[in-house]
Amino acid sequence: MTENNDRFELATFAGGCFWCMVKPFDEMPGIEKVVSGYTGGQKENPTYEEVKSDTTGHREAVQITFDPAIFPYEKLLKLYWQQIDPTDPGGQFYDRGESYKTAIYYHNEAQKEMAEASKKDLEESGKFQKPIATDIFPASAFYEAEDYHQGYYKKNPLHYNQFHKGSGRKDFIESNWKAEKDEKDLRERLTEMQYNVTQKNGTEPAFNNEFWNNEKEGIYVDVVSGEPLFSSTDQYDAGCGWPSFTKPIRKAQVEEKEDLSHGMIRTEVRSKDGDSHLGHVFPDGPGPKGIRYCINSAALRFIPKEDLEKEGLSEYKQLFE
């Protein structure tokens, strides 16, 4: 079982194939580690083949060691729901059977109450027409999976991406968990420039935008969805007249797509949840990876580091400590 100390707590989630359940949590602030393994069954130290045969009672799961002061359990639950089809009682996507069923395994009464409340909220939200099938169980012995399963998305990115897409999980998440756009709402709360950039793939004028020379400390979120995207700690002056960054806060929070518009071959950057056009990424940046994210100010909202807690984003304060 995973060791813990006074600072960290454990969270355990079953969400189908554990390959796909590591990446969403792995890059989040306050997450110490994410381990793939087996739990809920009767056999000690089971192998992958034994668990997959549905003879052990175990389910594939991930166990997360996290700092609740930075990333609270409620946010883990919210992120967990957004990785699964919670209405499927027989497995997840391509993977069928007991070992691929979903479950939240609580480690204390507080986690139990929060898990039950979040499940009830999802049921009452009307988001899904079918009943929520995810189980809530007390945590039991957790057995780490074989080494080749750990961090699979990093070790085998090509196969991971093919499986994530081919299994049906990627399309389900995009169809059911992406922020829904209300055209009337967007027109009312966005400026003409913000709307043109984020919704029509526009580009604002260089050197005549809000953040191209910003020197304050804080993070940038999608002006449409509010999802955290970039940090001032990774911002630099590229001399191009737009905010430039060496990397996003989390690579998983942005999507890159081929852009053949205007007679050029470029790589467009979009926000994952809000599906907002942000800008482009170029191979001419500083640092060992040589990447430059050239982003429109109009696609961003800046939150100073002193306002992060007030905005419900206290987990990102550690970027500036």
**Domain end point (choices 114, 144, 176):** 176
286: domain range? 183-320
The per-residue DSSP string of 147-169 comes to GGGTTHHHHSHHHHHHHHHHTSH
Is the same domain home to 209 and 130? no
Name the stretches of the chain with pLDDT < 70: 1-5
H runs (alpha helix) in 46-94: 48-52, 73-81
Q: Are residues 220 and 171 in the same domain?
A: no
Is there a contact between 16 and 92 (Cβ–Cβ < 8 Å)?
A: yes
pLDDT of residue 5: 63
Confidence (pLDDT) at 2: 40
The pLDDT of residue 1 = 38
* Helix 169-176 and helix 157-166, axial crossing angle in degrees, nearest 10: 60
Same domain assignment for residues 99 and 208: no
Instruction: Establish whether 20 is a catalytic residue.
Output: no
The catalytically annotated residue of 10, 11, 14, 17 is 17
Catalytic-residue membership of 294: yes
146 and 85 share one domain:
yes
Is residue 21 located within the same domain as residue 81? yes
Which residue, 176, 199, 215, sits at the end of a domain? Answer: 176
pLDDT tens digits, 266-316: 899 999 888 899 999 999 888 777 899 999 999 999 999 999 999 989 889
pTM value is 0.76
211 domain-assigned: yes
CA 140 from centroid of its chain's CA atoms: 26
Among 108, 141, 176, where does a domain finish?
176
Q: Is there a single domain that holds both residue 65 and residue 88? A: yes
Domain count, the chain: 2
User: Which residue among 76, 103, 294, 308 is the active-site one?
Assistant: 294
Residue (of 180, 156, 181, 160) closest to 170 by Cα position? 160
